[in-house]
Amino acid sequence: MSNIEEAENRIKSLTEQINHHNHLYYQESQSEISDYEFDLLLQELIQLEQQFPSLKKIDSPSNRVGGDITKDFATITHKYPMLSLGNTYTEEELFEFDQRIKKLLEIKYQYVSELKFDGVAISLIYENGYLTHAITRGDGVQGDDVTNNVKTIRSIPLKLKSNDYPSYFEVRGEIFLPFSEFEKINKEKEELGEPLLANPRNTASGTLKMQDSSIVAKRKLECYIYSLLGENLPVQTHSEAMEKLINWGFNVSPTYESHENIESVLNYIKKWETARFNLPLGTDGIVIKVNHYIHQQELGMTAKVPRWAIAFKYKAEHVSTLLESVEYQVGRTGNITPVANLKPVLLAGTTVKRASLHNANEMERLDLHFNDTVWIEKGGEIIPKITSVELSKRIHNASKISFIHQCPACATPLIRKENEANHYCPNELSCPPQIKGKIEHFIHRKAMNIEGIGPETIDQLYDLGIIQNYADLYSLSFPKLLTLERFGEKSANNLLLGLEKSKSVPFKNVLFALGIRFVGATVAEKLAYHFKNLNAIINASYEALCEAPEVGDRIAQSVTDYFKNPHNLKLIEQLKSAGLQFYSEEKTIELEGDKLSGFTFVISGVFQHFEREELKLKIEKNGGKVVSSISAKLNYLLAGENMGPSKLEKASKLGIKIISETEFIAMIG
């Protein structure tokens, strides 16, 4: 599209369509189009905004995909402090709360009850209908500005519907990760042999503080709004405020209710005690508020909490059952995870048969014995965990369950690295679960994305001796595949076609597929972009690896160790012979000027305005060259925060000019 007027009309139409479908999905729980069709609309909008950047607006739905990098989160003081609530666990204490309200008000009043969601509290500020700031709770007085990350959450409006809102107001809400998304992330991590996330609440909290907002967007966080704050608000009660927030486009949980008395509140609490387990997120209680704002003002505050609200906390549901056995799983990196097999028992709406014991330290803490009766509950109301042993039911002279010393799959003595809680099997070349796990990782959709093959096929291929590693996949032939059970001509052709297609997968995916410890998809992408080809990574020194974005000491050491191993180098030669991509395509650099022509730079540290790759590109666009090591021929050391002291010392000894980010910006004008 070349006409700016046509582009403006199409952008307006796409924005309206995308906002409409977002509202249907998050506020009405309806969907008129598929995710694929929605993504096509969003992609078209992004392309048009890239072609006509002047047409992109502050509330564009394209902001949902993220892309901004935040090195340091600014601290902002809350206009209205984010206070905690007093907690109660019994009906008697709720009646006492009601009696205090009755005594202080001496007039008729109402309550509003709403579920207390297990997420991350957030304060959202809107000015003239636009989201301008998103601030975490912090210490209640001040929190972190996480606006870029919050803008990726599709259930939070960037621009409000209607037009009857105040010019400035604030809403409070709970950002959460739905159980379905949490399970999806953990399933992927399990397939990749990575440590699992502990619970949805911690995952949401960690995601909200990520530096790269594009990664936040992929996590699919959601948000429920539960409070409206401001001056001259167009409402008199909390329940009216909830209706108004819904009209403005906010995602308000439909589970709140108004009550004429405390008995009605208790019925609400009893109703949700079990019904809450059917919700898409965790809850740990009920919040009860006096409904009318005038009554809230009259009741006021204590030194720490409001007198007009209280939280009723459900006791964590836990049950006892029999520990039948402990088995040990071997991950693709050799990590040994103990798992308790339990007599099936109903807990929080689901039947629990297994629970992770995490590591030897946790087993020692629990002091497990054979045939123990154990208490279990759900951490974050999703992952079963053993909390304790019922010692009164322990069988006399029962033997203690101790962590194993040998790999359960290959009998190799286990090792435990310093400062690590987990045990590992070091036999990565011959331990079947590790080899199969590495092959499963290699074919994963985020790696080589090889279609036509799954865990069962891998088991057969390995157990029959047809393949010994992932590189052997490319030596598979039609006759070999026909020897497999339930494998016909169509299945064989699909697998061979999948292998052929994988040869065009980008270098970053190939690097990730190698399964280097601590090198996830994001780090692999950064390494591929930084070094351009595999040979450069293989030959890079430990110090040079540390210069790459996202690469610290642990990752650099792991990469160095991987490429020192002759077995791994042999696999890479096989993959090269098969025709896989081991280099990134060089992009033509469009010059901005020649102010840095003839100058060489080393970049070190963390910068406020640029990623290091962006600095490198900026230098090249202005005619300069970036090198990885300091020598007497170097012109400038571009120094950021937390740069290595050895570089600084070497540059000083050689008399090389050391410049800051501000001085560099001045150099290029």
CA distance 120 to 76: 17
The answer to whether 496 and 479 have CB atoms below 8 angstroms apart is no
The answer to whether 637 and 647 have CB atoms below 8 angstroms apart is yes
Looking at the annotation, which residues are catalytic?
116
CA distance 94 to 98: 6
The answer to whether 121 and 172 have CB atoms below 8 angstroms apart is yes
For β-strands 283-290 and 257-259, DSSP reports them as unpaired
CA distance 290 to 105: 11
Distances (CA, A) of 137 to 26, 121, 144, 307, 404: 24, 6, 8, 20, 44
**Of 171, 179, 215, 219, which Cα lies nearest the Cα of 199?**
179
CA distance 224 to 155: 8
Q: Which helix (H) or strand (E) holds 287?
A: strand 283-290
The conformation of residue 477, written as its DSSP 8-state character, comes to -
Count of other CB atoms within 10 angstroms of residue 418: 4
**What are the φ/ψ torsions at residue 414 (nearest 5 degrees)?**
-80, 155
Put the strands of the sheet holding 168-176 in their side by side order: 130-136, 120-127, 168-176, 222-229
The answer to whether 291 and 237 have CB atoms below 8 angstroms apart is yes
Cβ contacts of 620 within 8 Å, gap of 6 or more = 589, 626
Q: Which helix (H) or strand (E) holds 112?
A: strand 111-117
What is the distance, to the nearest Å, from the Cα of residue 228 to the centroid of all Cα atoms in its chain? 28
CA distance 425 to 411: 9
**Of 200, 197, 126, 206, which Cα lies nearest the Cα of 167?**
126
